[in-house]
Structure 1
Amino acid sequence: MKNQNFDFQPTLTGELLKVRPLKSNEFDLLFAVASDPLIWELHPQRERYKKEVFEKFFELAIKSGGAFVIEESGKAVGSSRYYDYRPELSQVAIGYTFLARAYWGGLYNCDLKRIMLLHAFKFVDNVIFEIGVNNLRSRRAIEKLGGRLTGHVDLDGTPHVVYTITKSSFNF
């Protein structure tokens, strides 16, 4: 049995990125990254680049207790979070992730997910990713990391696919 006290907001350092807890006074910092409409073009919430829409996202991120700022050389370049911890299934979800376009292309996302997965696997055996059905960019990124398509779910009226990465299958 894994430790039941999942640490939702550690500071994690990878080869390229640092992940640290998001603070309630950092809306402007994160919105400066999120205000690019192209970040959201394949996302189910395509309007998230708008300030009034992002405000709701940010508020929920803070309330979640598991949200992060992703930094590269001290500069905010995105966000992610842990959520939906289910100790009875030895499972947690990683999601709500976005990166500035300059950080697309694999290396940064791989570094981010690697450090988040390594941390999660200290507490659970399974990590899930819920991704909008049409978000092919995110789906391919998770598949490159070894994610297996394991289901479908409807979130806020929008179809999503569920990918799973298990501790035993993850190549550290």
Structure 2
Amino acid sequence: MERQPTLETERLVLRPLAETDREALFGIASDPAVWEQHPIHDRWRRDVFDAFFDEGLASGGALAVCDRRDERMLGMTRFDRFDPDEGGVVEIGWTFLAPRCWGKGYNPEMKRAMLAHAFAHVALVEFRVGDTNYRSRNALEAIGAARTTRYELGRYQGKRVVHLVYEIDRESHQQGPLA
């Protein structure tokens, strides 16, 4: 599966992330509201954002999210963990959008394109989201993702971090809200 495709929708272009996107994305990410519910709540800080951005570049699956009309940067997302076995599974996540995009259908539009691309190659898509990130949890449920009983534990700044695992399989997607 190509994890850095160029995908186009009515309003968006998702394209491979480039080093030249760093400053425009930091302009969005430097707003603390973007991260207020996220377990890594201080990605608005330059050093924390730069590490996040560098990780995205190194992942081989990060995408810049741009306005199709004027190519203005709107955010970032990623196809991450990919396993081709047993029909295949890929993770979609690491997404953030500019607050001006919230509540205007940009996330479902982006996820529709990403899911269509993924389901041409895999049978299952997973999402990991911080347990207190209700904005992202609600957005996942709105696109038809179901919370599983699985979760992952980590630590950040000496505190426990819980990531819940959501998923959508190909059949559910074909019958779900983004079909």
How many Å apart are 1:8 and its aligned residue?
A: 0.7
Kindly report which structure 2 residues correspond to 1:43-122, keeping only aligned pairs within 5 A, or say none: 43-72=38-67, 73=69, 74-89=71-86, 90-122=88-120
* TM-score in terms of structure 2 length: 0.90
CA distance in 2, matches of 1:106, 1:124: 29
CA distance in 2, matches of 1:15, 1:51: 32
Higher RCO by CA contacts (8 Å cutoff, separation 6 or greater): 1
CA deviations on 1:83-141 (whole Å, 9 max, x unpaired) are 11011141000011000000001510000100001001111010000000000000010
CA distance in 2, matches of 1:66, 1:20: 10
How many Å apart are 1:33 and its aligned residue?
A: 1.2
CA distance in 1, matches of 2:53, 2:28: 12
Give 4+ residue runs of structure 1 displaced > 2 Å after superposition: none
Contact 1:33 1:78 in 2 (8 A): yes
Aligned-CA RMSD value: 1.1
CA distance in 1, matches of 2:40, 2:166: 19
CA distance in 2, matches of 1:25, 1:104: 24
Contact 1:106 1:141 in 2 (8 A): no
**TM-aligned CA distance change 1:91 to 1:106, over 3 Å:** farther
CA deviations on 1:69-89 (whole Å, 9 max, x unpaired) are 101131101000001101114
1:168 corresponds to: 171
CA distance in 1, matches of 2:55, 2:170: 28
How many Å apart are 1:25 and its aligned residue?
A: 2.8
CA distance in 1, matches of 2:95, 2:137: 12
One-letter amino acid of the counterpart of residue 94, structure 2:
Y
1:159 corresponds to: 162
> What SS does the corresponding residue of 1:158 show, helix, strand or coil?
strand
* TM-score in terms of structure 1 length: 0.93
One-letter amino acid of the counterpart of residue 81, structure 2:
D
Gaps of 5+ in 1: 1-5
The one of 137, 140, 143 equivalent to 1:139 is 137
Deviates more, 1:148-157 or 1:27-36: 148-157
